[in-house]
Amino acid sequence: MVNTGDFIKRLEEILRYYDLSASSFADKIKVQRSSISHLLSGRNKPSLEFVMKVVKAIPEVDLYWLLEGKGSFPASKKTTTKVPEVKPLAPALENIEKNIPKAKGKKSIDKIVIFYSDGSFTCYEG
C-alpha cells in the first residue's frame, strides 16, 4: 500500500527538481490540472494510470522510488529495473497443461507470468 503523504512529498520533489508549477506538470504528463491539485492537497489518492503517466513522461523518475521511496531521484542508470528475457513457453507448457482441466472448446495457454517475492518476474510466451 502506497503511503499517500510520502507519495505527495516525492511528487513535490519532482516539481521542485524541474522547477514546474502544478499546472505545467499536469500538462507535461497529460492529466487534468485539477488532478494534480487534488493529489497535492491530499483530497485524492494517486491512481495507477497517474503513476504510469509520471514514469512515462519523466524517465528520471523510478517507479519504485515514486511509489515506495526506494532508490533515488533522479534515477541513475544503475537503479533502473531490468526487464527479464522472455523465455519460450513450449517446455513449460508441456508440464502445466497436463495438470489443467480441459476447457470447453479449443483453448490454449498464450502466456504465463510468474511473480517472485522480490518484485521480479519471469514471462513465458508461446
**How much is the mean pLDDT over the chain?**
81
Q: Sorting pLDDT into bands at 50, 70 and 90, what band is 73?
A: confident
Q: Pick the range with the lowest mean pLDDT from 3-12, 34-43, 51-60, 86-95.
A: 86-95
Q: Pick the range with the lowest mean pLDDT from 46-60, 79-93, 104-118.
A: 79-93
Does the pLDDT at position 80 exceed 60? Answer: no
Question: Looking at residue 41, what DSSP letter applies?
Answer: H
d(CA 126, CA 92): 10
Please write the tens of the pLDDT for every residue from 41-71: 989 999 999 999 999 999 899 888 998 888 8
Question: Looking at residue 75, what DSSP letter applies?
Answer: P
Does the pLDDT at position 88 exceed 90? Answer: no
Q: Kindly report the pTM of this predicted structure.
A: 0.58
What is the model's pLDDT at position 114?
A: 83
What is the model's pLDDT at position 13?
A: 93
- By the 10 Å C-beta count (0-12 exposed, 13-18 middle, 19+ buried), 95 is classed as exposed
Question: Looking at residue 104, what DSSP letter applies?
Answer: S
Would you tell me how many other CB atoms lie within 10 Å of the CB of residue 54? 19
**DSSP helix/strand/coil, 72:** coil
